[in-house]
């Protein structure tokens, strides 16, 4: 079936994309044909129709996510709608914009000026890292779709719009790691990533309409029933711990997981951990900006996203910069049920002890370095020793 889905703001319906929707020409293609935007997938999307939308995967008005096919492979297609992880902590609020304007950079902007724009933007969002010059070069290479050594106005406008999407920026920042989805291409502010085969830590999710009807004990039984074998869970957990290690003092600064849920993490067919939803991860600069000068009565008033909570100075009535719970403590809380169920009897007691220690870690800067590294490495070593030299490693 030729055609494409109109990638519009508003609440998408989970389920198959209808023939009527598939046959519409979306704004991406209108703007591509007018020369306003560019991208490595525009031709496939708008002319050759080898990139097609198949199913809507999101019920949130702020998240346009679709399963699709591109060159006979399953992919995930995401569209530029206002980010769900916002400072007002209302992830399902209705998006305020109707269409990306693609108004920057303006005509007449030189290549040096565009580089400066990019560098200043990255400094504001990732912090003043010495490594940012290399990231600017990577962005410019990605923007240069026709590989002519120059960046056209349409190419520059497209990459500039994409950088303002939290997940896209994080995918670029963490591109050296193997724990995030591969970015396959873009067209304007639409981008395509690889499809992660298992998009939940347990390998399956209870359907949305069933979730409110089932007690938590039943949820746990279903998860345990469908979860991979324990050695495979151990391998996935090691990958998750490595990801936590990577985003703390990473190449491009610090990052925080602000919604620690089994639904946001998954794995591939080799049981290698993959972060499914980077939209729930925030940069340190983003959180600092949110906390700066923020009035509070208690710690909960200093919460960014769902669970990135900082401490409240009750005397000054202002939020401080220290996280109550670091990434590692939250991840260990997530791994407790995941790893203890079905764990080998000779390992279970020590594993439980180490997970408890991990879960009590503080986010205070004074504890973040040596103590956290020690706890993380001990846990990784314990798991790895059990599965190394077996078919599961």
| pLDDT score, position 67 | 94
| pLDDT score, position 221 | 74
pLDDT, tens digit (0-9, with 9 covering 90-100), for 205-244: 656 655 666 666 676 677 777 789 999 999 999 999 999 9
Mean of per-residue pLDDT scores for the chain: 84
What is 96-141 written as a DSSP string?
Answer: S-SS-----SPTT--HHHHHHHHHHHHHHHH-S-TTHHHHHHHHHH
What is 272-307 written as a DSSP string?
Answer: -EEES-GGGEEEHHHHHHHHTT-B-SSGGGGEETTT
Report yes or no: 375 and 358 within 8 Å, Cβ to Cβ: yes
- Structure-model confidence comparison of residues 152 and 365, the more confident one: 152
Report yes or no: 192 and 52 within 8 Å, Cβ to Cβ: no
What is 160-225 written as a DSSP string?
Answer: HHHHTSHHHHHHHHTTTSSSBPPEEEEETTEEEEEPPSB-STTS----TTTGGGS-HHHHHHHHHH
* Weakest mean pLDDT among 75-89, 108-122, 123-137, 234-248: 75-89
Residue 56: strand, helix, or coil: strand
Report yes or no: 54 and 69 within 8 Å, Cβ to Cβ: yes
Residue 4 pLDDT > 60, yes or no? no
Residue 8 pLDDT > 50, yes or no? no
Query: Region 145-151: what's the mean pLDDT?
Result: 92
| pLDDT score, position 275 | 93
Residue 390 pLDDT > 90, yes or no? no
Residue 12 pLDDT > 50, yes or no? no
| pLDDT score, position 199 | 87
């Amino acid at each position: 079936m030729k055609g494409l889905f109109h990638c519009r703001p508003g609440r998408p319906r989970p389920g198959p994309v209808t023939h009527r929707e598939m046959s519409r020409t979306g704004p991406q293609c209108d703007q591509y044909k007018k020369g306003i935007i560019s991208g490595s997938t525009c031709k496939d999307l708008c002319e050759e129709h080898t990139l097609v939308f198949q199913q809507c995967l999101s019920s949130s008005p702020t998240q346009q996510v679709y399963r699709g096919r591109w060159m006979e492979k399953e992919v995930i297609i995401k569209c530029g709608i206002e980010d769900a992880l916002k400072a007002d902590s209302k992830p399902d609020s209705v998006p305020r914009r109707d269409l990306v304007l693609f108004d920057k950079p303006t005509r007449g902007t030189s290549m040096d000026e565009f580089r400066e724009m990019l560098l200043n933007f990255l400094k504001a969002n990732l912090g003043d890292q010495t490594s940012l010059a290399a990231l600017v070069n990577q962005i410019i290479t990605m923007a240069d779709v026709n590989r002519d050594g120059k960046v056209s106005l349409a190419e520059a406008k497209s990459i500039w719009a994409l950088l303002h999407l939290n997940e896209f920026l994080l995918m670029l920042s963490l591109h050296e790691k193997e724990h995030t989805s591969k970015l396959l291409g873009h067209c304007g502010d639409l981008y395509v990533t690889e499809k992660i085969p298992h998009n939940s830590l347990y390998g399956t999710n209870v359907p949305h309409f069933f979730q409110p009807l089932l007690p938590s004990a039943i949820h746990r039984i279903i998860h345990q029933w469908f979860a991979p074998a324990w050695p495979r869970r151990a391998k996935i957990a090691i990958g998750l711990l490595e990801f936590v290690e990577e985003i703390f003092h990473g190449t491009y600064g610090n990052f925080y997981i602000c919604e620690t849920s089994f639904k946001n993490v998954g794995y591939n067919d080799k049981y290698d951990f993959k972060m499914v939803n980077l939209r729930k991860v925030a940069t340190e600069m983003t959180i600092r900006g949110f906390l700066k000068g923020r009035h509070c009565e208690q710690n909960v008033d200093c919460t960014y996203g769902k669970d990135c909570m900082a401490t409240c100075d009750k005397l000054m009535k202002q939020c401080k910069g220290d996280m109550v719970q670091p990434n590692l403590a939250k991840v260990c809380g997530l791994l407790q049920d995941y790893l203890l169920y079905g764990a080998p009897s000779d390992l279970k007691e020590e594993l439980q002890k180490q997970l408890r220690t991990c879960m009590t870690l503080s986010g205070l800067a004074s504890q973040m370095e040596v103590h956290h590294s020690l706890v993380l490495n001990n846990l990784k070593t314990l798991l790895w020793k059990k599965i190394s030299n077996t078919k599961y490693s």
